[in-house]
C-alpha cells in the first residue's frame, strides 16, 4: 500500500492464534486471529489514500486464504453512531 513500516510487534496466543500491531508512518494496523474459527479481525488506520488501504486489506485476505470479508471506511473526523 506504499506505507512506511516503523515497527512490528506480534504476540502468539495460546493455544493458537496471533495478536499484533504494525506501526506505520501513516498510522497503524492491528490484527487478531482465531484460527480455530477461521477468523481474523484487521483494523487499518491511515491518513493515506483510502484505495491503497482497501488494496492492502484485500491482499491480507487473499494471503490468509480468506473467502469473505467486511470492509468499513470511516473518513477521518467523521462521527459514528456505533
Looking at 11, 27, 28, 63, which residue is catalytic?
27
Looking at 19, 28, 47, 69, which residue is catalytic?
47
pLDDT digits (tens, 9 = 90+) for 21-44: 999 888 899 999 999 998 999 998
- Of the pLDDT bands very low, low, confident and very high (cuts 50, 70, 90), residue 82 is low
28 is known as an active-site residue: no
pTM (whole model) above 0.85 = no
CATH for 5-63, options being 3.60.90.10, 1.10.10.10, 3.20.20.60, 2.40.110.20:
3.60.90.10
pLDDT value of position 21: 96
Looking at 19, 28, 32, 49, which residue is catalytic?
32
Instruction: Map the chain to HEC letters.
Output: CCCCEEEEEEEECCCCCEEEEEEECCEEEEEEEEHHHCEEEEEEEECCCHHHHHHHHHHHHHHCCCCCCCCCCCCCCCCCCC
Amino acid at each position: 500500500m506504499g506505507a512506511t513500516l516503523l515497527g512490528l510487534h506480534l504476540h502468539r496466543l495460546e493455544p493458537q492464534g496471533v495478536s499484533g500491531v504494525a506501526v506505520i508512518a501513516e498510522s497503524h494496523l492491528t490484527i487478531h486471529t482465531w484460527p480455530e474459527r477461521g477468523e481474523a479481525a484487521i483494523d487499518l488506520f491511515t491518513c493515506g489514500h483510502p484505495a491503497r488501504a482497501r488494496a492492502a486489506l484485500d491482499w491480507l485476505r487473499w494471503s490468509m486464504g480468506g473467502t469473505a470479508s467486511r470492509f468499513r471506511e470511516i473518513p477521518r473526523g467523521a462521527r459514528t453512531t456505533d
